[in-house]
Amino acid sequence: MGYHKPVLLNESISGLQINPKGTYVDLTFGGGGHSREVLKKLGKNGRLIAFDQDQDAEANIPDDKRVIFVGANFRYLRNFLRYHSIDKVDGILADLGISSHQIDIPDRGFSFKSEAQLDMRMDVRSEKSARQVLNDYPLDELVKVFRGYGELKNAFAIGNAVIRARQEGEMETTGHLEQALQRLIPKDQPSKFLARVYQALRIEVNLEMEALKEMLLQTADSLELGGRLVVITYHSIEDRIVKNYLRSGNLEGDIQKDFYGNIQTPWKLINRSVITPQQVEIAENNRARSGKLRIAERIA
């Protein structure tokens, strides 16, 4: 399988309304699928700034003078735009979630389908890993992680199972984790349960929600008037944050109106209803099935 097959590719690139002379940001470069499509629509004076904190992504950087690659988390969007003397850009794209490459490399520990070390770091230079979370977090913190980021109703039981298992020795591998949770894994939907457990750990290890919120709050000031923000989400937690921000201009989703009843937000929603992959795309790439695309234009 390739590094990563871009999800909702045509819909997201169309949503950017690319100006050939413009400057665009791909906040989640990965295998470069979305970036390559952006470059096809840019002229010789266009620019693309591509972010990715995963060092593996650097192997996919195209040999193109129009590309500036930033090997950092997208929470540093404004810092690196300033560093490169860029005040405003014409469009920002973020394809959130985990790449196929990260899932398919067993050593990264992102998948419960392979025996591997409990890692899950998107940036291998960071200190916190899934192993540290599972072996060091107290019960209340574990419960918060599994309930908040995995939306697991039996989060307390999961946390307790982890505590009991690590009393017998450090949890080091994906196999150790599955063994610890054996009695809690439902027989009818084992993969769905484990996927949520791993999602919760991955989000905690990589501080994904904190990074997402920081990034979103920088987008309006980073875009020209009329510039587009295009975001693809994969689970309800991140999608709720994006939806709230785009409809209200704040992370809480609180609608604020002026004296005349006009909503005070820097955004105009381009698609009122979320855009999801067609069955043809899902058939070709099953990992696209949970993708949700939201597009907004900066109006203030």
Could you tell me if residue 109 is inside a domain?
no
- Judge if 213 and 294 occupy the same domain: yes
Write the DSSP string, 21-51: T-EEEES--TTSHHHHHHHHH--TT-EEEEE
- Tell me, yes or no, whether 236 lies in a domain: yes
Mean pLDDT throughout 146-170?
97
Cα separation, 98 vs 110, in Å, equals 9
Tell me: do 258 and 271 sit in the same domain: yes
How far apart (Å, rounded) are the C-alpha atoms in residues 234 and 12? 14
- Residue 100 pLDDT more than 90? no
Do residues 194 and 259 share a domain? no
Identify whether residues 282 and 261 lie together within a single domain.
Answer: yes
Lowest mean per-residue pLDDT among 13-17, 103-107, 139-143, 239-243: 103-107
Tell me whether residue 254 is exposed, middle or buried, using C-beta atoms within 10 angstroms of its C-beta: 0 to 12, 13 to 18, 19 or more: exposed
Asked if residue 121 belongs to a domain, the reply is: no
Tokens for 290, please give them.
Answer: 């949970």
Smallest Cα–Cα separation from 113: which of 177, 52, 57, 42? 177
Is residue 218 predicted with pLDDT exceeding 70?
A: yes
CATH classification at residue 160: 1.10.150.170
E-strand stretches of the chain: 23-26, 47-51, 67-70, 89-95, 223-233, 267-269, 292-298
In a domain, 119, yes or no: no
What is the CA angle 111-286-296, rounded to 5? 100
Do residues 243 and 177 both lie within one domain? Answer: no
User: Does this model's pTM top 0.85?
Assistant: yes
Domain boundary among 153, 176, 205: 205
**20 and 95: one domain?**
yes
Residue 272 DSSP symbol:
S
At CA 154, angle to CA 151 and CA 157, rounded to 5?
135
What pLDDT sits at residue 40?
A: 98
Look up residue 161 and give its DSSP letter: H
Domain hosting 200: range is: 127-205
Whether residue 125 is predicted with pLDDT greater than 80 in this model: the reply is yes
Report which DSSP code applies to 250. S
Number of domains the chain contains = 2
Quick check: 46 and 23 in contact, CB under 8 A? yes
Residue 2 reports pLDDT greater than 70: no
Q: CA–CA separation, 4 vs 183, rounded Å?
A: 34
Q: Are residues 214 and 74 in the same domain?
A: yes
For residue 25, the cross-strand partners are: 49, 92
Choose one of 170, 189, 205: the last residue of a domain. 205
Could you say which of 180, 205, 230 is where a domain stops?
205
* 66 DSSP 8-state letter: T
Q: Please, which pLDDT band fits residue 102 given cuts at 50, 70 and 90? A: confident
CATH number for the domain spanning 37: value is: 3.40.50.150
Same domain, 50 and 199: no
